[in-house]
Amino acid sequence: MNPRSAVDLAQALIRCPSVTPAEGGALALLARVLEAAGFAVERPVFSAPGTPDVENLYARIGTGAPVLLLAGHTDVVPPGDEGRWTHPPFSGEIVDGVLWGRGAVDMKGGIAAMLAAALDLVATRPDFPGSIAVLITGDEEGPAINGTVKLLEWAKARGERFDACILGEPTNPERLGDMIKIGRRGSLSGTLVVHGKQGHVAYPHLADNPIEGMVRLLAGLKATLLDAGTVHFAASNLEVTTVDVGNPATNVIPGEARAAFNIRFNDLWTPATLETEIRRRLEAAAGNAVRWEASFENTNAVAFLTEPNAFVRRVQDAVEAETGIRPALSTTGGTSDARFIKDYCPVLEFGLVGQTMHQVDERVPVAELERLQAIYGRVLEAYFAG
Ligand SMILES: [Zn+2]
């Protein structure tokens, strides 16, 4: 295995069955490779009541500034029914120029390309001015409690600081080069309960049907847009995800109705201001006619934006030089660990094409892995050129 080849390294990583929270040998493999190249490697394990212990990795080479942080996760989502895979999910088989396996794009391929590029730099320019730090968690696809959040706190307590970060999540919708993510929307989930009075359908005057109140409240929530979007963000959106009364009978008016919703919101909102707005809308829609209560889950998924600065443009330039495509700067999609890293340094995300992530038959063309390594190589060269 040549660790300066993204393909070799990705293949070796896929063969480690690191379904969250299992380490699966993936971090041990990276530790060996990084140590052999001269990195100082630490393997902190974090735990919390009610969640599995999680292994993580932090490595660094160099002592000076600037410090570029390369971040990612080696854990993967479960393969599902292994019999439905064309090639076994942890085989890392290469067939007709395509590398198959769970994590190929999300995100062992991205990590492999990043680290292969970093090892290349270290080998060919051992006196490069600055430092490379590597932060890899095994807890991104799970509860995300014993991973990046604690690893960043742990690094900070040791005096580590970073000037910029690239997170290698798959960001491209169609082709390598399509999209860099410079922010993420926030996510807030809530539940709504409407209280009525159970009764006989033939005697509705003796009952109070909560479904009517629920319809009214949900219509009130969706009646007007939350906002019109911002320069870098789409409009915030509330989606009702379920409505339940749990009533199997056709001759009974139910006593209670429940709904759940999730809001993906832009940088005009915080979870607190959003909760206030939702409660205001519910109150207005309910008036005195509907008895309701709402509750909101705690969320650490706030919206954030990395202003398109010189670092962002440098990565755009590197992508364009390798692919011929000027990548769009986007804040679309779900949440990622970038929402934690942004509290420490400017962070952007760029990786592979995301089309097969979390699917059966996750896979990546070998040529794309090689090209991604070349892109990261250009980023490192430009970053440490000063
Ligand atoms: Zn991922």
Residues 329-368: pLDDT tens digits? Answer: 999 988 899 999 999 999 999 999 999 999 999 999 999 9
pLDDT of residue 145: 87
| Strand 256-265 versus strand 164-167 pairing type | unpaired
Q: What percent of the chain has pLDDT over 90?
A: 96
pLDDT of residue 349: 98
d(CA 253, ligand 1 centre) in Å:
45
d(CA 102, ligand 1 centre) in Å:
11
d(CA 50, ligand 1 centre) in Å:
23
For residues 135 and 70, is the Cβ–Cβ distance under 8 A? yes
d(CA 141, ligand 1 centre) in Å:
7
d(CA 337, ligand 1 centre) in Å:
9
pLDDT of residue 386: 60
Q: Is 113 helix (H, G, I), strand (E, B) or coil?
A: helix
By C-alpha distance, which of 37, 311, 21, 28 is closest to 163?
Answer: 311
Rounded Cα gap, residues 203 and 199, in angstroms: 7
Rounded Cα gap, residues 48 and 212, in angstroms: 43
| 75 among known catalytic residues | yes
d(CA 255, ligand 1 centre) in Å:
42
By C-alpha distance, which of 112, 134, 114 is closest to 7?
Answer: 112
pLDDT of residue 142: 84
Task: Please tell me what DSSP assigns to residue 208.
Answer: B
Which residue stretches of the chain have pLDDT < 70? 386
pLDDT of residue 280: 98
d(CA 226, ligand 1 centre) in Å:
29
d(CA 355, ligand 1 centre) in Å:
12
Rounded Cα gap, residues 371 and 40, in angstroms: 28
What does pTM read for this prediction? 0.89
* Token pair for 359: 């699917």
Which listed residue (23, 140, 256, 349) is catalytic? 140
Report angle CA 232, 237, 238 to the nearest 5 degrees.
Answer: 160
For residues 125 and 38, is the Cβ–Cβ distance under 8 A? no
By C-alpha distance, which of 272, 271, 274, 241 is closest to 258?
Answer: 241
By C-alpha distance, which of 71, 237, 209 is closest to 152?
Answer: 71
Compute CA distances 61 → 34, 200, 228, 316, 361, whole Å.
9, 73, 45, 25, 36
Q: First CA to last CA across the chain, in angstroms?
A: 32
Strand ranges in the chain using DSSP code E only, listed in sequence order = 40-42, 45-48, 51-61, 67-73, 94-95, 98-100, 131-137, 164-167, 179-181, 183-184, 186-195, 199-200, 237-244, 252-253, 256-265, 291-296, 304-305, 328-330, 347-349, 363-365
Which listed residue (23, 55, 75, 277) is catalytic? 75
Task: Please tell me what DSSP assigns to residue 172.
Answer: B
Rounded Cα gap, residues 386 and 383, in angstroms: 6
d(CA 358, ligand 1 centre) in Å:
9
